Amino acid sequence: MDRKRLYLLLPVRCIIFFLIFTLGAHIAGKTTDEVSSWWSIAASIVNILTIILLAVAAKRRGGSYRELINYRKGHSRSKRMIIFITALVVTGMSGMLLSGLLFYGTLMPEASLRMTAPVPVVLAAANMLVLPVSSALAEDGLYLGAGTGSIENKFASVAVPAFFYAVQHCFIPLLFDIRYMGYRALSFLPLTVIFCIYYRKKKDPLPLMASHAILDFATASSILAMSISPGAYEQMADMIK
């Protein structure tokens, strides 16, 4: 499959999220801060759009989404994959905690609680299934398949996709707060760098996508729990203020 210039798609999610939150807030007559609790629903919608975009881009280049991400059935060894997934999940969680400590002076800043804000229970329950799968397919397809997989320069194939992979989180949700944006980007940067390095060397997306889905499932489960019991969310918000 011809991957030429697929890396030009890397900023697309940042742009879409910026538009969704600014236009959505304007239409609702609210601020982006006030609509931020809907970030997980917006993310699933953008994920689906991203997957469609990648599938169309791959087809126009004579391939498929599976070829784009370089998925090969039976390529990953179960034991190695379990160990690697565990290490990636720990790295992802550690990045968030250390970023909170650096930007806010605490491992659990109020900004981290914002990511589990309640939404209607029905949507939270449905999204617990949609968000993890769609995020892994969309984000890893874009930043690894279309990014790392299409850039020839060794350094750039890691640095450029990892940068956009991390920076997109500044817009999920969108808050016009430099400290918050820095916290969000740095939370994910260690993990995105590892993702891109591993993918460049192994061309094996499965353990990366699996660990990604586990992290998002944990987040989606927390959102569901808070949506079922909004009072618990308010109590936690009061505790960490």
Radius of gyration of the chain (CA): 18
Average pLDDT over residues 125-145: 96
Q: What's the pLDDT tens digit per position in 167-198?
A: 999 999 999 999 999 999 999 999 999 999 99
Strand partners, 174: 171
* 49 Cβ contact partners less than 8 Å away, ≥ 6 residues apart: 16
Task: Say how many residues make up the chain.
Answer: 241
Q: What's the chain's average pLDDT? A: 92
* 231 has pLDDT over 90: no
* 64 has pLDDT over 60: yes
Residue 2: predicted pLDDT: 75
**Dist CA 177 CA 183 (whole Å):** 10
Written as six digits, the tokens of 101 are 């400590």
- φ, ψ for residue 97 (rounded to 5)? -65, -45
**Dist CA 97 CA 209 (whole Å):** 22
Please report, for residues 9, 49, 111, 140, the alpha-carbon distance to residue 3 in angstroms, rounded to integers and kept in the order given.
11, 20, 38, 15
**Dist CA 198 CA 200 (whole Å):** 5
Q: What's the pLDDT tens digit per position in 198-214?
A: 999 988 898 899 999 99
Quick one: DSSP state of residue 107? S
The pTM for the full model equals: 0.92
Q: Which residue has the tokens 């160990």?
A: 83
